[in-house]
């Protein structure tokens, strides 16, 4: 005769007791792409391949992508500098002041042109004001 349980053991209690009875792998299988150990039937966390197909974008892929983008930008700027020749780098403050001085110069030129267009003397202007009243 077998022993009889005194109380019912719930699913949770039985499963928590058996949680540590899982089979331990003595050696993990290796990824065929990067040859790193990985759990079976899972995408490789190192290279992102599963069954010979790339399924994940890993952090190394992102880092390499950023490096490629930086290299392309550097090449593009180098090509632009080669075409235009060496120029002095201006700070934002210097370029803003240069624009302001250019704008002031343009405004003074415009005012001078307006004054040159008006050929009436001050006496004529005063006389026209008196007539209009």
CB burial string 28-65: b at 16+ within 10 A, e below: eeebeeeeeebeeeebbebbbbbeeeeeeebeeeeeee
Q: Where in the sequence is the domain holding 35, given as residue range(s)?
A: 28-57
12 falls within a domain: no
How many residues appear in the chain? 133
Question: Which pLDDT does position 2 carry in this prediction?
Answer: 86
Tell me if 42 is assigned to some domain: yes
- Whether 113 maps to a domain, the answer reads no
* 10 inside domain: no
- Does 51 map to a domain? yes
pLDDT one digit per residue (tens) for the chain, 133 residues: 788 989 999 999 999 999 999 887 778 899 999 999 998 899 998 888 999 998 888 888 888 889 999 999 999 988 888 877 655 655 656 666 777 788 888 888 887 777 766 666 667 767 777 776 6
Confirm whether 108 is domain-assigned: no
The count of domains in the chain is: 1
The answer as to whether 41 is a domain residue is yes
Distances, alpha carbon 26 to alpha carbons 19, 50, 91, in Å = 18, 22, 63
């Amino acid at each position: 005769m077998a022993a009889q349980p005194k109380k019912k053991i719930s699913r949770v209690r039985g499963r928590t007791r058996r949680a540590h009875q899982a089979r331990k792998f003595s050696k993990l299988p290796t990824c065929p792409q990067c040859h790193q150990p990985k759990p079976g039937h899972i995408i490789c966390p190192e290279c992102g391949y599963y069954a010979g197909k790339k399924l994940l974008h890993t952090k190394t892929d992102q880092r390499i992508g950023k490096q490629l983008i930086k290299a392309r930008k550097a090449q593009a700027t180098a090509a632009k500098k080669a075409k235009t020749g060496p120029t002095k780098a201006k700070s934002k403050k210097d370029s803003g002041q240069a624009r302001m001085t250019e704008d002031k110069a343009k405004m003074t030129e415009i005012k001078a042109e307006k004054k040159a267009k008006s050929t009436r003397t001050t006496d004529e202007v005063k006389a026209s004001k008196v007539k209009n009243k």
